[in-house]
Structure 1
């Protein structure tokens, strides 16, 4: 099994012990691409190395990013982990379901498993950068999991799924990268503001829903170009309308 196209992304991890433990779990299951977003802890500290055991090379090879958007720029699918439920967060996947969604897509592009801070998880703006959500069904008596344990559980399900589906083929389209999608959302946001479709005081209220719709659809680059064409046509019509005024 080759997991080169699967990235583990930790957003502002706070504990070196957790980072080291994540590296150990990654090596246990055969993953190698670790991305750290603005880490609060030193991932090269003695504590992190001690927990990583023989996976210190993953610590040393970890890439540091200033924000989540930069970390996901080359990813076609980002799966964000969360326990926060709300009207902008629907169609949650359990880890085994997420693994099956990721499998065919990782054959042709990069897939990221995104994990939030140990205390506050992922912020709404960060979840907006993820196309699908993972939630781990835990007991209400203690619903939150340790970061390293959550990563281990998700990686186990991915590895198990890969074993089950090996050789059965994918055939899925190559999805647009996070950078390409964010360019689309910026264009859409400005266009919908210009035609007064969005409330300028709270434009994200509606945009959250569009992100979820397009996230579930899984857009490829051709589909993104078509949508850009739609927004550009609306831009032109709006400029002509303003001229006639």
Structure 2
């Protein structure tokens, strides 16, 4: 006997199914000014199935009447958000960091991406944990904060106002990323190295070049953005980072006549021994 047709499922009874495009996503808010925005962003994260919200040096009270009021059904996410003193520490465990800007910039990170391009980027540069970083409501991310990112995203406007409210920007970006066609190759490659490891490689690379007098003093600042852009384009895994640090360690060894190998580099030794 055929069971009777129960009719369409009540939308309120459906089980939430997070978008695969947002797996491993972290939302990071930097120097946020308004508690209402904090609450609304927490609610957006709850809507989109994003369970990791991080705050960098917030300029307002996190746990207050306004933030709680506007975090409808996501109060635990708001009150459980981790707070960091700076962006570098907030992204240390992220394999891919995407900054945001309301305006086009002459950025060290190259051309901007649109939100719908992020799923394809995640196919090319998979990461177990990846972050989208939103700056202060008034000023956005400053240059130093953008340098903590590997690429950046611009959200287009079509009217006289050139920027979105912070919570609206988070909602639009998350929704577009979540609903863009899901590429078939996600998760087939090795995850990217944590940002902390890539930053340490960057510092070690620059330090090595400086020690072997690769560039004149006046050229150091000109070279920094070139190296930043180059590393941002590469999908560096932990194996890649370790291999490159090993190569740089050998450069130090042959330049300074004493063993300075990859194990020293892994321990964070950056200064070469003096010649004997």
TM over 0.5: yes
Q: Can you give the 5+ residue segments of structure 2 that lack an aligned partner in the other structure?
A: 1-17, 258-273
Tell me how far apart the structure 1 counterparts of residues 30 and 217 of structure 2 sit (CA, whole Å). 29
Report the Cα offset of residue 178 of structure 1.
0.8
Cα shift readout 1:65-123 (whole Å, capped 9, x = no counterpart): 111111111100001112241152313110110233236756x5101011111111111
* SS of aligned partner of 1:203: helix
Contact 1:37-1:71 at 8 Å conserved across structures: yes
The aligned residue for residue 198 of structure 2 is 181
Tell me how far apart the structure 2 counterparts of residues 79 and 159 of structure 1 sit (CA, whole Å). 16
Contact 1:4-1:32 at 8 Å conserved across structures: no
Of 14, 17, 36 in structure 1, the residue corresponding to residue 33 of structure 2 is 14
Pair 1:98-2:115 in alignment: no
Cα shift readout 1:171-209 (whole Å, capped 9, x = no counterpart): 122110011111101101211111223454673431222
The aligned residue for residue 196 of structure 1 is 213
Task: Decide which structure has the larger Cα Rg and report it.
Answer: 2
Report the Cα offset of residue 25 of structure 1.
1.1
| RMSD, aligned CA | 2.3
Contact 1:11-1:38 at 8 Å conserved across structures: yes
Contact 1:8-1:33 at 8 Å conserved across structures: yes
The aligned residue for residue 120 of structure 1 is 139
Contact 1:99-1:157 at 8 Å conserved across structures: no
* SS of aligned partner of 1:120: coil
The aligned residue for residue 172 of structure 1 is 189
Cα shift readout 1:152-179 (whole Å, capped 9, x = no counterpart): 1111022113xx3287643122110011
Q: Which moved more, 1:144-153 or 1:226-235?
A: 226-235
Q: Can you give the 5+ residue segments of structure 1 that lack an aligned partner in the other structure?
A: none
Contact 1:74-1:179 at 8 Å conserved across structures: yes
Tell me how far apart the structure 1 counterparts of residues 110 and 138 of structure 2 sit (CA, whole Å). 23
The aligned residue for residue 161 of structure 2 is 142
Change (3 A) 1:17 1:202: farther
Tell me which of the two structures has the higher relative contact order, counting C-alpha pairs closer than 8 angstroms and 6 or more residues apart.
1
Equivalent residues in 2 for 1:21-100, closer than 5 Å: 21-82=40-101, 83-86=103-106, 88-100=108-120
Report the Cα offset of residue 5 of structure 1.
1.3
